[in-house]
Amino acid sequence: MGIFCFAPLRSQLNVQHNQYRAGDVLVKQQVEYVDPGEAGADRLWNFSKLKIINDAYILEYALPPLEGDSVYILGNRRYKKKDVKENELIVGTEHNTMYYYHLNEDTLLQIGHENPYVLLAYTSPMAILRFPLNYAQTISSNYRSKNLYSRTVNIQTEGTFTTTADAYGKIILPSKDTLDFVLRVKTLQTIVDIPKESGDTSKVRNRSRQLEIYRWYSKGYRYPVFETIRNLNLADSSVISSTAFFFPPQDHLYLDTDSANLALLDQLWNLDKQNIKDSDRQQSETVSLQDIMTCKLYPNPVSSILNLDYELKQDAKVSFQLFTTDGTLLKTTGLNQKKMGVWHETIDCSHLATRNYILVIIANGLSMNEVIVKK
């Protein structure tokens, strides 16, 4: 039936497969900027014709330095080593800048960054991801920061940081490789200077910016495979700068030690082989689920009772199965023999948590998946 190889594979970022890990190294190639395209389901992103501008960027993740042998120093904060879990505190280094991350339970926080010119600390950390993150989910947080430019000039900023899993589909990379089960994550960060004195804020408004980043994640890879970045002036929406980066899959150098993602890649490989077999079989067998039944689900989003109205065009063995997006079976109607005609069933969703679920509809061994949104 292969139910674990559809929506669960393409629609979620989680701690096990996507949290940053100390010791991981990636190579990213700067390419010409490309419009990220529309949000939505079953998208195709063709980046195969993009030209490489610079192929020498390295991104590394490491543990923060230790003070003595018992305290981690992460930016301007200190954490007792004995209280820190594996990969809870991470320093990401690229472009001569160190970014400081703290995984606080299910939320990935950015607490600051620094380079030879800027020392920045978030007095209210930015929540940049909350795990698990599924398609169509959004998280947003407010933040404040203190910046020390050239080690002498103090500037304070504030704003909002919003993360949305806004699209999924298939991507064709600049290397011409094609990856399926791709989830796109959009982040918007507004950056507004806080005036040192009350009064005219027009100059502050004119300096307000928005950083827009799209990242494409493919199952089997802990980190993005592609990203676009634009820096916008909020006063007039003009583009200050824009660029894009390609992360060649073969240069995800951490994979040899990433058993969780290697297992996903094996699963995808087996799925490809199964799809080839299914395609050969379907050339001679043209029966589909729609030939057996039509089904209407409502309401969706659902708060309590999910109604299933369906019509069988022939006698069939029918089942409805509700799964979490990571493949855990929650509810099933069982596999029941039904006669041709109109039927109605319900599934009680009142006790489910607010998130997305997968409903698998089965008739005579054929199946299809539907995303159910619990509100």
**Prior bond to 64 cis, omega within 30?**
no
Beta strand 239-246 with 293-298: parallel, antiparallel or unpaired?
unpaired
Give me the pLDDT at residue 197, please. 64
Q: For the chain, report the end-to-end CA distance as a whole number of angstroms.
A: 28
Domain with CATH 2.60.40.2550 in the chain: 287-373
pTM over 0.85? The answer is no
10-residue mean pLDDT profile of the chain (375 residues): values are 39 88 94 94 92 88 94 94 95 94 95 91 91 90 84 83 93 90 95 74 66 95 96 91 93 88 78 53 56 91 94 92 79 88 93 88 84 88
233-243 pLDDT, tens digit per residue, is 988 889 999 99
Give me the pLDDT at residue 336, please. 86
Give me the pLDDT at residue 77, please. 93
Give me the pLDDT at residue 334, please. 79
51-92 pLDDT, tens digit per residue, is 999 877 899 999 999 998 899 999 989 999 999 999 999 999
Look up the CATH number of domain 287-373: 2.60.40.2550
Measure the CA–CA gap between 344 and 309, rounded to whole angstroms. Answer: 5
Give me the pLDDT at residue 150, please. 65
